[in-house]
Chains A and B, each alone.
Chain A
Amino acid sequence: MLGRRLSRLLLQAVFVLLAVGTLCFAMAELLPGDAAYRIAAGRYGYDVVNTEIAEAVRAELGLDRPALVRWAEWLGQVAQGNLGQSMVLGDPVLHLVAYQLGQTVWLSLVAWLMALALGLSLGLWTALRPQGWARRAVDSLNTVLRASPSFLLGVVLTTLLAVELGWFPVAGHEDADHVFLPALTLALALCPGFTQVVRDAALRLLASDAFEFAQVKGLPLRAALWRHALPQILLATLAYAGVQLVLLIEGMVVVETLFAWPGIGHALVHAVIARDVPMIQGTALTMALLFVLLNGAIDLLLHALDPRLADAQAAPASPPTPNTP
């Protein structure tokens, strides 16, 4: 089973490479206008671009060679781990993406922890008090959060906490407190799902015989929760992490752009606007590969932690046939 899962992971990674590579290449070919002028404008500013400078850029980057040659060249370079150079900044894409990846991982880690804390506390709190104002308040909050896209949350949080109240800096990335607003935006987008999963798992567990027995044998509620409920709830949360990953990566594109956070999503959007194909490829590849790898890691971890999954797969899967006499 492990071998099959790993080979599927590898297949997906190869597919991602081919799909993103082909799409990005087609993008460069299909776009109207002369790329040399656009790149020159991106480098030197719109006011100073003339034909001479554009031709210099064209010669430097080899933009006049046949399309197939450039694509084959790029694929060969990727195979050697060389992602080329940004057409706008002139720096190696690998260096830029490595720095941006660090920023993105740092931001998403903070966001994830915030969402986990929020989801666990809200979910457990409402599971322990199923009838009451707390449950209704959390439910309405989650309905509102679910209907608000992350860029909207970001705008609301910025105007409220940064511009009006002045508690946090609006944008920037040097200091530790800069991470707070973008991370909170992402965390709030993840919060409804987390809360729901934690609450469902907690309710199922609180009603189970095992939990009742733990209390009957004399464990106080806190200890019973800590020892018997929390591991299962965390497992359910992990199983849900794949869904959260999509939200997180999609949110990253928008939230990083909104807060000018120098991460992968921000770089991708700006590369698309500036038509910087090596950068688009580098960032899109990094994001997609990260997604495939993390999904695979979650899958493997889940199977390692939960023996029930292995048992379920070992049992022969029979088609559901209704019992008729």
Chain B
Amino acid sequence: MKPTHTTPYALLLLIAALALLTPALAPDPHAQDLMASLRAPDALHWLGTDHLGRDNLARLGEGLRTSLGLALASALLAVALGSVLGLLAAARGGWTDRLLSAAADGVAAIPGLLWVLLIAALAPGEKWALYSGLVLTAWVEFFRLLRSHTRSALLGQPVQAARLLGFGFGYIVRWHVLRPIAGVLARLWAYAVAHAVLAIAALGFVSVGVRPPQAELGLMMTEALPYYYEAPWLLATPVVALVLVIGALQTIVGRAADDTPAGVTA
């Protein structure tokens, strides 16, 4: 059976709703109850409890909020930063262009996860470090797209005609530069979100990302790993959630994931 066009969006909405509603549905994600550790799912704890007796549903909700919140916000700032700088580089040319392009090349000279790891290590457990690392690696893609597109668009006849008709720079940017690539930008943004979610989970998994007791998908997997025999649902929940989020985002991105590599020098 082939998934329909709206399936990934519906899935993401469902996951977001789960993440936002868990504070109302489940107890405090940090409240421990050592007498009730590793419980199987029941009426009280819908997804069971972990090794410290914390409610798994509440932790899953908090993990999703952490991952998705950080990823969405960092991708948004990256879009804004990359687009503005790309426009600037293409419109100004000269040294502005050369400096900004050199900065982008420099960032791309180091693999993304390495950047995030090093910057996150500046202040372990602090969200701003993780956040700035993610933004720093993500803006390059948007910058390159906007720069190359704007350069060719500004030379094209529609823009020349618009200029002759007396339209200002803002109008031209809005209708002749941004409008044609809005779809590509949106897909690239979804790709950046997926990449950020994966990076956060990977760092959490190797214990250098978000710090306990805060719940995070990768960290939850590391914590659940020793108990996978007694409590398989504990490992399964963050795994399923992560795969669903990434799968949905990648379905939205479609084939853009293949031809828009992150942080690669051309």
Chain A residues engaging chain B, CB cutoff 8 angstroms: 8, 11-12, 15-16, 19-20, 23-24, 26-27, 30-31, 143-144, 146-152, 155, 159, 193, 196-197, 242-243, 245-246, 249-250, 253-254, 257-258, 268-269, 272-273, 280, 284, 287-288, 291-292, 295, 299, 319-322, 324
- Contact A12 B207, beta carbon cutoff 8 Å: no
| Interface presence of B225 (CB below 8 A) | yes
Q: 9 shortest A-B CB distances, which residue pairs?
A: A147-B247, A250-B113, A243-B261, A12-B109, A319-B155, A15-B106, A147-B246, A257-B206, A288-B110
A299 to B105: give the CA distance in the assembly, Å: 15
What's the nearest-Cβ distance from chain A to residue B69, in Å? 19
- Assess the B118–A246 pair: CB atoms within 8 A: no
Of B113, B156, B208, B243, which is within 8 A of A272 by CB?
A: B208
- Which of A19, A246, A319: most chain B CB closer than 10 A? A246
Contact A273 B118 (CB under 8 A): no
Cβ–Cβ < 8 Å partners of A26 in chain B: 122
> Is the CB of B15 closer than 8 A to any CB of chain A?
no
Question: Is B221 touching A152 in the complex (CB atoms < 8 A)?
Answer: yes
Interface residue from A23, A149, A197, A250 paired with B122 (Cβ < 8 Å): A23
Q: Which of B109, B221, B235, B250 contacts A147 (CB 8 A)?
A: B250
Which of B110, B118, B201 has a CB less than 8 Å from the CB of A149?
B201
Residues of chain B touching chain A, judged by Cβ–Cβ distance below 8 Å, are 102, 105-106, 109-114, 117-119, 121-124, 152, 155-157, 198, 201-202, 205-208, 218, 221, 225, 228, 235, 239, 242-243, 246-247, 250-251, 257-258, 261-265
With A and B bound together, what is the CA distance between A13 and B190 in angstroms?
31
Which residue from A19, A144, A151 sits with its C-beta under 8 Å from B221? Answer: A151
Query: Cβ of A272 and Cβ of B117 under 8 Å apart?
Result: yes
Contact B264 A242 (CB under 8 A): yes
Pair A16/B109 contact, Cβ less than 8 Å: yes
Q: Which of A12, A246, A280, A322 contacts B111 (CB 8 A)?
A: A246
Give the contacting residue for B121; candidates A149, A250, A272; CB below 8 A.
Answer: A272
When C-beta atoms are compared, the residue in chain B nearest to A298 turns out to be B265
Q: Is the CB of A242 within 8 A of B261?
A: yes
Question: Which residues of A lie under 8 Å from residue B264 when comparing CB positions?
Answer: 242-243, 245-246, 295
Partner of B157, one of A12, A242, A273, A321: A321
User: Given A23-B119, A27-B118, A246-B262, does the pair A152, B206 have CB atoms closer than 8 Å?
Assistant: no
Q: Determine which of B122, B152, B205, B257 lies in contact with A319 in the assembled complex, contact meaning CB atoms within 8 Å.
A: B152
Q: Which of B110, B122, B225, B246 has the most CB of A within 10 A?
A: B110
Given contacts A27-B118, A146-B250, contact A155 B221 (CB under 8 A): yes
Partner of A250, one of B112, B118, B201, B225: B112
* Extra pairs beyond A147-B247, A250-B111, A280-B118 (10, CB < 8 Å): A149-B198, A149-B246, A249-B111, A250-B114, A250-B202, A253-B117, A253-B202, A288-B110, A295-B265, A320-B156
Q: Report which residue of A196, A250, A287, A321 has the largest number of chain B beta carbons within 10 angstroms of its beta carbon.
A: A250
Known: A31-B124, A295-B265. A196 touches B258 (CB 8 A): yes
With a cutoff of 8 Å between Cβ atoms, the chain A residues found around residue B250 in the complex are 143, 146-147
Assess the A24–B118 pair: CB atoms within 8 A.
yes
Q: Which residues of B contact A258 (CB under 8 A)?
A: 205-206
Most chain A CB within 10 A, of B109, B202, B225, B243, is at: B109
Q: What are the residues of chain A within 8 A of B205 when measuring CB–CB?
A: 151, 254, 258
Residue of A nearest to B263 (CB): A246
A243 to B195, CA, bound (A): 14
Cβ of B201 and Cβ of A19 under 8 Å apart? no
A19 x B208 contact (CB < 8 A) = no
B110 near A273 with CB under 8 A, answer no
